[in-house]
Amino acid sequence: MPTADRVHPTPALLPPSTPLHHDVAATETTPLHSTFRSTPPPPPGTYIVQIPKDQVLRVPPPDRARRYKKLAGCPARRRRLRHACCGAFGAVLLLVLLAAAFVGVVYLVFRPRAPSFSVAALSIRGLDAIALSSSSLSPQIDAAVRADNGANKKTGIDYRGGGEVTVSFSGERLATGQWPAFYQAPRNVTVFSTALTGKGVGFTEEKRKRLAAEHTAGAVPLTVETMVPVRMRFGKVLRTWTVDVKARCEVTVDKLADKATAPVNRGCRVKVRPLWWWW
């Protein structure tokens, strides 16, 4: 006789520890807060017009199209202008660096030096004891100037026209003459003579007495100044711009006469611009 399967009763589910009606009551009593703030009302006298999204114009109207195109193109134009300015600045900076490098190479190769000067002879007329008693003098001076380029082994000097030589006493100019134009080769010494003339030279009573006393003592201090435009020549092709070279020599002669002895040079100071001014 077949045996019937035994059916075991399922245990009843235990109710939750917290009553359901308590949650429902808590839900019902908890106030609901909106997550979005309400839009404040517009101020009086204003209107809000709402347009559907599909009706918003994405192309400006014809009467505003030209202005829109102009404003839209401004950033592009400013960008192109900025790029052009940066390119021009870079090109100028590159040229400056190349020029500085070129000058530096030339300086290292040729080692240019300023020439030196001295006064070899002075022949003075019109300033003797008789002429000193006159109120207006016209002295005449023959000056022999020595230009020395021995410090330059590879650099020649072009002395241009328009230079001058001046002789003065105690700040009073006595006579002025021209510096001749010539080319001076490297390691060369040139002595040239130039005629200086003065007109309407007058001394104060104090300077007149001092000049007469120094003439009697056999030691008359004079100042010889030169200003000559020159160009440095490197090799046969390369030359610099023309610049002014100034020299001031303090000399002493024994007498104010035609047959004065060689002047005693008490020092010459040469003033010339730096090399980078010559280019």
| Whether the predicted pLDDT of 206 surpasses 70 | yes
pLDDT band at 71 (very low <50, low <70, confident <90, very high): low
Three-state SS letters, the chain: CCCCCCCCCCCCCCCCCCCHHHHHHHHHHCCCCCCCCCCCCCCCCCCCCCCCHHHCCCCCCHHHHHHHHHHHHHHHHHHHHHHHHHHHHHHHHHHHHHHHHHHHHHHHHHCCCCCEEEEEEEEEECCCCCHHHCCCECCEEEEEEEEECCCCCCEEEEECCCEEEEEEECCEEEEEEEECCEEECCCCEEEEEEEEECCCECCCHHHHHHHHHHHHHCCEEEEEEEEEEEEEEECCCEECCCEEEEEEEEEEECCCCCCCCCCEEEEEEEECCCHHHHC
When pLDDT is averaged across residues 9-15 and rounded to a whole number, the result is 49
pLDDT band at 129 (very low <50, low <70, confident <90, very high): low
Would you state the pLDDT for residue 224? Answer: 95
CA gap 236, 129 in Å, rounded: 52
| Whether the predicted pLDDT of 35 surpasses 60 | no
Would you state the pLDDT for residue 256? Answer: 81
CA-wise closest residue to 147 among 175, 115, 123, 122: 115
| Whether the predicted pLDDT of 180 surpasses 60 | yes
Which comes out higher in pLDDT, residue 18 or 53?
Answer: 53
Q: Are strands 182-184 and 116-125 parallel, antiparallel or unpaired?
A: unpaired
Mean pLDDT, rounded, of the chain:
78
Which comes out higher in pLDDT, residue 267 or 33?
Answer: 267
Q: Render pLDDT for 91-124 as a digit per residue (tens, 0 to 9).
A: 999 998 888 888 778 778 888 888 999 999 888 8
